[in-house]
Structure 1
Amino acid sequence: MRFSRTAVILAVSASLLSPAVADAASAPPGPVTLTESSLQGVHGVSPDVTVRNVLTVTASGTALRVRLGNPFGASPLRVRSVWVGRQPSPGSPALAPGSNRRATFGFRHAVTIPPGASAWTDPLPLSVRRGDRVAVSVYAPGSPVDDHTFPPPETSTPGSFASAGPGDAGADESGRAYGAFAPGVLWWADAISAASAARGTIVALGDSITDGYNAFGGGPRWTDVLAERIATRPPSRRLSVANAGISGNTVSVQPNPYDPTGQCCGPPAPARLDRDVLSLPGVRYVLLLEGTNDLGGGDYAPPAPAAQVIGAMRTIAGRVHAAGRRIVGATILPMCNAAGGPKEQARLAVNAWIRTSGTFDAVLDFDAVLRDPADPTVIRADRRTDCYHPNAAGDRLLGDSIDLRVFGL
């Protein structure tokens, strides 16, 4: 079955489309967020190694800045040095010759980041194009490891290399100082921004479906598909895409269903909204796809009622609007819950509210895109990995289904 891109757009306000189209050509280059990988917890203390984090950017830009975070550490993050360069080959820690730059923080090479805080580097004399991989090499031995660790998608994978020996290996462009690639593991580095002709950033706030968990089958995540499509537009008509998905995340403030320690799945979306969304440079649109983990429940939290999920979404939308941004809501995908059962009834109620409440500036009906016409309680068999997660083909379908007019394009 094929779905037209326009068919999945249920509501687009006139205020969303007209001003964005009108101001696109006249907007001067400014700071945008080129990529993000939201930190989700703290796991131990860093040994005496350098960690070369690799993230892929979704727009072109110059004067790169990198954000390092210590949101969960109980002690300061003591960064001794940071180097930033381009990584030309996906599986190799080697950098493009001459691309590696030593970063500063207020013109100092070292920085101490208190618990709960973050720090941006000064602008670096480094340019990137959409799709480039940026390597951020951080040397911070003895510091709390604030990380993003998740089972990664098969392509466009964030990840890292750790140096094989002690000491600061950030300046090594050859990559010989580093060991094997650890897909899906990032330490401290959670965002890259730049001056860009792109006229702003879309932040996808979500859970594992946005994070890319189980998107198997040899394709990118749906957020990467969206970025690919936007890249076909003229430079001044583009937006960057930042992925703020965390596997296991909840949209409402509640105990996490899967992890009572809170280390696996990040704070609930309202608690991380400022850090992971509103504080990023250039944000114009928020795309919210959450609720599966709330409605499904787990060993440590019961299934949430529809009213709880709706209340959380309404709160997030209100805060986004108060900050002067626009928010797009996506309906919740099927979860293999029994037809007529309480979980499925709650999902249907939340989706009906998303479609009809007018809370969002626009709605993407992802449920309609992926549900099985013969059994709407499940994702189509050829588009799913399991009951909750699309495979790569499903992610491709989601990314292709988004009408770019939602973002003024």
Structure 2
Amino acid sequence: MKRRLLGLVLGVVTTAAIGTAPTAVAAPDSGLWTGTWATAVQQPSIGIVPNWSEAGFTDQSVRQVVRVASGGVSARVRLSNDYGDQAVRLTGATVARAGEGAAVKPGSVRELRFHGARSAEIPAGGELRSDPLPLLVAPLEELTITLYFREPSGPVTSHLNANATSFRASGDHRSDTAATAFTESTASWYLLSGVEVLAPGKRGVVAFGDSITEGALSTVDADNRYPDELAERFGGKRPVLNAGIGGNRVLTDSTCLGEKATARFERDVLEQPGVRSVIILEGINDIGMSAFPPDDCLGATPWVSAADLIAGHRELIKQAKAAGIRVIGGTLTPFKGSFYYSDEREAVRDEVNQWIRTSGEYDAVVDFDRALADPADQDTMLAAYDSGDRLHPNDAGYHAMAAVVDMKQL
């Protein structure tokens, strides 16, 4: 699948000053750009949290805050209409340094351009990249991207469970520094799929998985997901991109929970610029949803055996290695006591984890299972790391996950 990536790469910015013009030109796709923030996009749906994806936007400004992993001397923004059946007309957009809530720092608002124009169309089933903006981006800095839609957008491609607050205002408030107009909020991202920086030589890590990679039930707006914690361990020296989707499965598509991992891996990992390695942590939902009653949100819920799941992992490994990307397998974390649990499902998890640890098919292994397990009962998550549902870690658990990663393996 070769997707349409629109956007003019205007050049290498050799100055770090905000607002000054580029002084040298580089060819598009020169390999000097790397992703510093990303999210895995989904089709518009009711999802698992209230969101605006199905209604879209009309004469409204949407303000979204992201924390980048590493810095660079120029930035560009990537917008996705992957799940749209019609083009989305973007009237204009800005980038600023984040303040408190929906506020931004005075004097930091910069207008984004697309092929030199303020407005643009995000094509149906495609993407749009902004022109490079001469903006010195610091490692682990928060940026605010504000999109304004004068015309009805229709349903919009989104990431439904962002665990971060996005804001909405009526009318055109893309250049506001104050938060006053932004009176509505949700915990989803809309159309925004990536931030890239000009940072030659930096090679990124993609954390690929389900809600445990996504950071479900970590503190909202605190950037305590395990990929965030890993980026902090790197001290901003290497990008870490989060490609987790809550409820996602390796082998089965879902309206609310994203395309199956084997289908979305190309977009969410292989097509990210500057990727060196990927950590795969996925499969607990295939096991947990096995033989659940199917519905319009979940889609099919077939029984998934260890052999089925291992075959899915082998497909992910094959895709990564064909692209020259180092692939690290994460063991599936404890879930005894959760609503998913049964002895039969636990046996599948144990068999898959044994294969991940011992098969040698992954380039390296991160043993998230043992990092989170209670020593007294290794099928159970340690209480100090449990968010309360016996399935998802809390902030301390996500920190422990990042801490067990051997950074030399990446």
Per the normalisation by structure 2, the TM-score is 0.82
Aligned to 1:77: 88
**CA drift at 1:74:** 2.1
Aligned to 2:168: 162
CA offsets, 1:122-160, max 9 Å, x none?
Answer: 1012121122111111112411221112172xxxxx331
Contact 1:49 1:162 in 2 (8 A): yes
User: Aligned runs of 1:224-239 on 2, under 5 Å?
Assistant: 224-231=228-235, 238-239=237-238
- SS state of the match for residue 44, structure 1? coil
121, 131, 134: which one pairs with 1:122? 131
Measured against aligned partners, the alpha-carbon deviations of 1:169-198 in whole angstroms (never above 9, x if no partner) come to 21222333322543x221100110001266
Q: 1:63 Cα shift?
A: 1.2
- Map of 1:363 onto structure 2: 365
- Cα distance in structure 2, aligned partners of 1:339 and 1:291: 14
Aligned pairs for 1:44-63 within 5 A: 44-63=55-74
* Cα distance, 1:339–1:87 mapped onto 2, change above 3 Å: closer
- What is the aligned-residue RMSD (CA, Å)? 2.1
Q: Which has the higher contact order (CA 8 A, sep 6+)?
A: 1
Given the alignment of the two structures, is residue 276 of structure 1 paired with residue 271 of structure 2, yes or no? Answer: no
Q: Please state if 1:378 is matched with 2:370.
A: no
Quick one: which of 282, 285, 293 aligns to 1:299? Answer: 293
Aligned counterparts, 1:73-152, within 5 A: 73-89=84-100, 91=101, 93-140=102-149, 141-143=151-153, 144-150=155-161, 152=163
Once residues 407 and 91 of structure 2 are traced to their aligned partners in structure 1, the CA distance between those partners, rounded to angstroms, is: 43
Give the whole-Å Cα distance in 1 for the aligned partners of 2:103 and 2:271.
32
Contact 1:303 1:343 in 2 (8 A): no
Match of 1:39 in 2: 41
* Secondary structure of the corresponding residue to residue 349 of structure 2: helix
Mapping 1:164-203, distance limit 5 Å: 165-166=170-171, 168-182=172-186, 184-196=187-199, 199-203=202-206
Gaps spanning 5+ residues in structure 2: where?
1-29, 45-53, 295-300
Residues 101 and 125, structure 1, Cα contact 8 Å, conserved in 2: no
Residue 290 of structure 1 pairs with residue 286 of structure 2: no
- Name 1:13's counterpart in structure 2: none
Would the aligned equivalents of 2:31 and 2:273 in 1 still touch at CA under 8 Å? no
Structure 2 partner of 1:10? none
**Contact 1:285–1:325 at 8 Å: present in 2 too?**
yes
**Residue 346 of structure 2 is aligned to residue 335 of structure 1:** no
Q: Which residue of structure 1 lines up, in the alignment, with residue 245 of structure 2? A: 246
CA contact under 8 A between 2:280 and 2:330: conserved in structure 1? yes
Task: Pick which of 45-54 and 29-38 moved more.
Answer: 29-38
If the length of structure 1 is used for normalisation, what is the TM-score?
0.83
Equivalent in the alignment of 2:211:
208
**Any conservation in 1 of the 2:91–2:148 contact (CA below 8 Å)?**
yes
Q: Is the 8 A contact 1:29 1:196 kept in 2?
A: no
Counterpart of 1:132, as a letter, is E
Given that residues 367 and 404 in structure 2 are in contact (C-alpha distance below 8 angstroms), is that contact kept between their aligned partners in structure 1? no
CA drift at 1:339: 9.5
CA distance in 2, matches of 1:128, 1:60: 5
* Map of 1:18 onto structure 2: none
CA displacement at 1:340 relative to structure 2: 8.7
Is the 8 Å Cα contact of residues 68 and 119 (structure 1) preserved in structure 2?
yes
Alpha-carbon distance, 1:97 to partner: 2.1
Q: CA deviation at 1:215?
A: 2.4
Contact 1:35 1:192 in 2 (8 A): yes
Q: How far, CA to CA, are the matches of 2:380 and 2:80 in structure 1?
A: 38
Q: How far off is 1:299 after superposition?
A: 2.7
Separation of aligned partners in 2, 1:136 and 1:283: 23
CA deviations over 1:62-112 (Å, ceiling 9, x no partner): 2101000011122211111111111133x2x22222221111122122221
- Distance of 1:354 and 1:129 partners within structure 2: 36
User: Take 1:207 and 1:326, find their aligned partners in 2: how far apart are those partners?
Assistant: 20
- Count of matched residue positions in the alignment of Structure 1 and Structure 2: 358
Query: Counterpart of 1:306 in structure 2: which amino acid?
Result: A
Measure, in 2, the Cα distance between the counterparts of 1:324 and 1:216: 35
Task: Report runs of 4+ in structure 1 exceeding 4 Å deviation.
Answer: 216-219, 337-340
Letter matched to residue 291 of structure 1: G
